[in-house]
Structure 1
């Protein structure tokens, strides 16, 4: 016996074959493929950071408004949640009522310094629980300062002026490794390309512009830095008149940091020279030194205004003075 055979014809149209598009993970495609562009420009360090690192709650402490302002903007642009305070005591208060993934502190703050804050925080956390990672920022990049911060339990020591990509790398490490105890990481700052004979090194603010913060932010930052510089000089003059050499050096250190933020090379160098003076020499030369600092700031202000006219980002800050005791 043989079976039956049936034929069925179905009308299908011929379709041209399409090439299969490979799926490339975002963390691999850091550079545009030839003949096309990435949806996200991963050459932008902030976009790359947000794509790879979870959002963290970060507490920032610095006694100068300009420093807090730029750190807050930078960290928010990187996708983190930021709370800013202006001193070490406020850090301890904030940590008592909320948990933070990372704390960023300036080493030299009046009252409770960054180093003293570290020591008190480690006493508070001595019960064996996880330690809050603390990043210390300072222009005082000496072996002694680094050693003292390491002994106090700092997670990283970052030199000022801060390089944004290096700060983001440290935060990425903390997000990955959590609150494990690790040797202190010493992160270098921006290389100094300007000569101390120059009034302004434009590369410092050019780097800030390259981060895409916007012209309005840059103008505000310049004005606030100049206000901070005025405040440092006012406090320094008061300390000089009262023979308070240690306070003079503290304000000189702060002024050096503010000047470095703006690329005012000559003012930063003069501030550094004042920091190294002994008490006897300072008592003889303080009027001359103060006049030199005021002149350097005046020349720096003029150079910044000239840069602003060329770029449309003027920063005068000559009347709205903010004292930074």
Structure 2
């Protein structure tokens, strides 16, 4: 189920229009939680519940960042990252991709990096971790 979660008003109209984030997670609660943390800052958020839905969105709109669950049915996060990185014609070929996972160990990080992801964040996320990751991967 692909949906746009929302759009909050910010004082900096240009920043809001430019910052679009895709959240890909099969768990509705996780999608909503991350979306709420990001919407508080006035960012445009889209969500998908699996990698196939995300690929559809990624071919239609340009994103500033993709947050993707490591473990998902239909298409997992690493497969999605490989599909994005493997298609240089895709408008989001170079978008930063961040894995969201309950287990951030050496093996998981290695899997994510080899798939073309830029970083990993451990679930549950904190607002501070999310903001630091945004500063690192979406410079303003």
Superposition TM-score tier, normalisation by shorter sequence? 0.7 to 0.9
Structure with more strand by fraction: 2
d(CA) in 2 for partners of 1:94, 1:130: 13
User: Which position in structure 2 is the counterpart of 1:110?
Assistant: 73
Q: Gaps (5+ residues) in structure 2?
A: 1-10
Q: Does 1:171 align with 2:134?
A: yes
Q: CA offset at residue 158 of structure 1?
A: 0.3
User: Which position in structure 1 is the counterpart of 2:41?
Assistant: 78
d(CA) in 1 for partners of 2:26, 2:35: 14
RMSD of aligned C-alpha atoms? Answer: 2.0
Instruction: Provide Cα deviations, 1:197-242, integer angstroms capped at 9, x if missing partner.
Output: xxxxxxxxxxxxxxxxxxxxxxxxxxxxxxxxxxxxxxxxxxxxxx
User: Which position in structure 2 is the counterpart of 1:40?
Assistant: none
User: Which position in structure 1 is the counterpart of 2:88?
Assistant: 125
User: Which position in structure 2 is the counterpart of 1:253?
Assistant: none
SS of 1:176's equivalent in the other structure is coil
Structure with more helix by fraction: 1
d(CA) in 2 for partners of 1:60, 1:130: 16
* Cα distance change on mapping 1:57 and 1:97 into 2, 3 Å: same
User: Which position in structure 1 is the counterpart of 2:107?
Assistant: 144
Q: TM-score, normalised by structure 2?
A: 0.82
d(CA) in 1 for partners of 2:39, 2:30: 14
Q: Does 1:57 align with 2:30?
A: no
User: Which position in structure 1 is the counterpart of 2:7?
Assistant: none
Q: TM-score, normalised by structure 1?
A: 0.36
Moved over 6 A (4+): none
* Cα distance change on mapping 1:130 and 1:105 into 2, 3 Å: closer
d(CA) in 1 for partners of 2:106, 2:73: 22
Counterpart among 55, 70, 83 of residue 92 in structure 1? 55
Aligned length: 125
SS of 2:138's equivalent in the other structure is helix
Structure (1 or 2) with the larger CA radius of gyration: 1
Q: CA offset at residue 130 of structure 1?
A: 5.8
Higher relative contact order (CA 8 A, sep 6+): 2
